[in-house]
Amino acid sequence: MKTTKKQHNMNKIVLLLFFIVFASFAQDRKEEKLKEKALLESTNLTWEGNKDLSENDFVSAEVDYRKAISKSGENNSAPYNLGNAYYNKETYSEAFGRYKQAGEVATAKEDKHKAYHNMGNVFMKKKEYEKAVEAYKEALRNDPKDEETRYNLALAKELLKKQQDEQKNNDENKDDQEKKDNQDQDQKNEGDNKEDQKDQNDSDKKDQGDDGDKEDEKKEDTKEGDGNQKEEDKKQPEQGNQPQQKEQQQPRPNQLSPQQIQNLLEAMQNEEKKVQEKIDAQKVKGAKVKNEKDW
């Protein structure tokens, strides 16, 4: 019986799909075997790390654990055991990172419980009690019957409450201290202002005293001036209430003053009067005399 071209093509497609499925299955199987091999190698390295750690060889144990972690991401024992090694060395930050890694990798609830329980222990060591409470709660979600975790949770809650109370008291004391400091500063500022005002008042009083002294000196000068003026008044003729006359013009050099000229004129008139009287007397007597001025 002859096959048609259409049937022939269908057979080829079916055969191709078979090979694809088979190849995919083979690939998955190969990858699975590789994962199994890697997990086995990781487990063996973890065992070597445990052995080194039991012999107090921390450096070798750390190297083995790190190799185990790099070999397989499904081995939660390697990061968990390395976290325990760091925890015993009191390297709590490194320990927390490895516990967290173990908790994320673990698929079994028991393994998750142990990882979160130990994360809680790290937070307790660091006195981060609020985070410790959350870690213990997560551990109990994976194993509600673990009494040690339950005890640690109760202890973490108690310490958290105590820590919060202390923080509250510290905040209140800080506020009270700040208020007291502000009051002290205000009082200090007020005292400084009063001192400044006192200094200003003293300065004003001093200035007033200086002004008083100047006023007294001025009055004293006025008194002395009045005395000198009175002394001058005694030397001058009384003029009643007439205003003070202008000072007489001083004569220029080699020039007679008006007063001197007036005196000379009066002297000449007197002499002329005397001469005239002599002439008149001579006329009476009939004798002629020479008229001469004696100036």
Q: What value, to the nearest 5°, has the Cα angle with vertex 29 and ends 24 and 34?
A: 125
What pLDDT does 216 receive? 56
* Amino acid type, 125: K
What pLDDT does 222 receive? 47
Whole-number average pLDDT of the chain:
78
Closest CA to 157 of 177, 186, 137, 176: 137
Higher pLDDT, 176 or 218: 176
Residues 95, 86: contact at Cβ < 8 Å? Answer: yes
DSSP class of residue 108 equals S
d(CA 82, CA 49): 9
Closest CA to 87 of 58, 46, 52: 58
Q: What value, to the nearest 5°, has the Cα angle with vertex 145 and ends 142 and 150?
A: 90
Those residues whose C-beta lies under 8 Å from the C-beta of residue 60, and which sit 6 or more positions away, are: 49, 52
What pLDDT does 220 receive? 53
User: How sure is the predictor about 105, in pLDDT bands with cuts at 50, 70 and 90?
Assistant: very high
* Amino acid type, 33: K
pTM: 0.55
User: CA–CA distance from 214 to each of 187, 208, 210, 220, 223 (Å)?
Assistant: 40, 10, 6, 10, 14
Q: What is the mean pLDDT of residues 287-291?
A: 37
Q: What are phi and psi of 100, to 5 degrees?
A: -65, -40
Which tokens is 233 given?
Answer: 């008044």
For 18-38, how does the pLDDT look when each residue is reduced to its tens digit (9 = 90+)?
667 666 666 777 788 888 999
Higher pLDDT, 19 or 270: 270
What pLDDT does 192 receive? 72
What pLDDT does 23 receive? 65
For 225-261, how does the pLDDT look when each residue is reduced to its tens digit (9 = 90+)?
455 555 555 444 444 333 333 333 443 444 556 676 6
Q: Which CATH architecture has domain 34-166?
A: Alpha Horseshoe (1.25)
